[in-house]
Amino acid sequence: MSSNPSTSTIFSAIVTGAAQGIGRAVAIRLARLGYNVAITDLPSKTELLDSVITEIKALGRDTLALPGDVSKEADVEEAIKQTVEKLGPLYIMVANAGIGVPVASIMDTSMEEWDRYLSVNLTGVFLCYRAAARKMVEQGIGGKIIGACSTAGKRGSPMMGAYCASKFGVRALTQSLVHESDADAAARMNQSHGSWIDMLNGRTALKRIGTAEDVANLVAYLASEEANFMTGNIVT
């Protein structure tokens, strides 16, 4: 539901980690569905964000680039505030931002590395979920909160301890949010994309490489009215 039929108000979506890859594909897909789309990523990726802005504007949608760090509470709160003020009521949150897979055993993982993975991949999702849920409850129009998981959130793997822990946390956080008292204010699902999106196609059941667009199509479904009866699901 990209607009309110009774008022013609266009709803907004916000996608974190949207400068490239899956986040970029999701942002463009949501714009094609009719949403005004705010995009966030690190300040070092401003040029890439500008490129996404150009594509979204070409689709006739309003858009906004919000450079920032999802692990910082003030940045996330400001992003939500700016999105609503400039693009309309928030209806979709896609908490996509995350950092990639480390290659280190648990014994060799430093506290600095551990803290980095947890702060971006888990705390960042928590801050996005919380800010979006609060805004959706305040607005009273419902909405969709969609997180990014991976196969690392379903089973542990060697040399990936910090990453797996962060993704298991996202899964638990999503399912916990669903059961809280204000869960009826927003449909909450966790969209899971495989860790091997860019790896050899022989490792997948379909014998081909998954693409960012494949994930964007899944997010588009979860954002749609057809998925209104889904909540708390891990979709692979």
Q: Which residues are catalytic?
A: 163, 167
Distance CA(3)–CA(6), nearest Å, equals: 9
How far is CA 179 from each of CA 22, 185, 231, 235, rounded to the nearest angstrom?
28, 12, 10, 18
Q: Give the Cα separation of 221 and 92 in Å (integer).
A: 12
Retrieve residue 198's tokens: 């860019």
Evaluate whether 180 touches 222 at the Cβ level (below 8 Å): no
- Cβ 219 vs Cβ 171: under 8 Å: no
* CA-only gyration radius of the chain, Å: 17
- The H-assigned helical ranges of 11-160 are 21-32, 46-58, 73-87, 111-118, 124-139
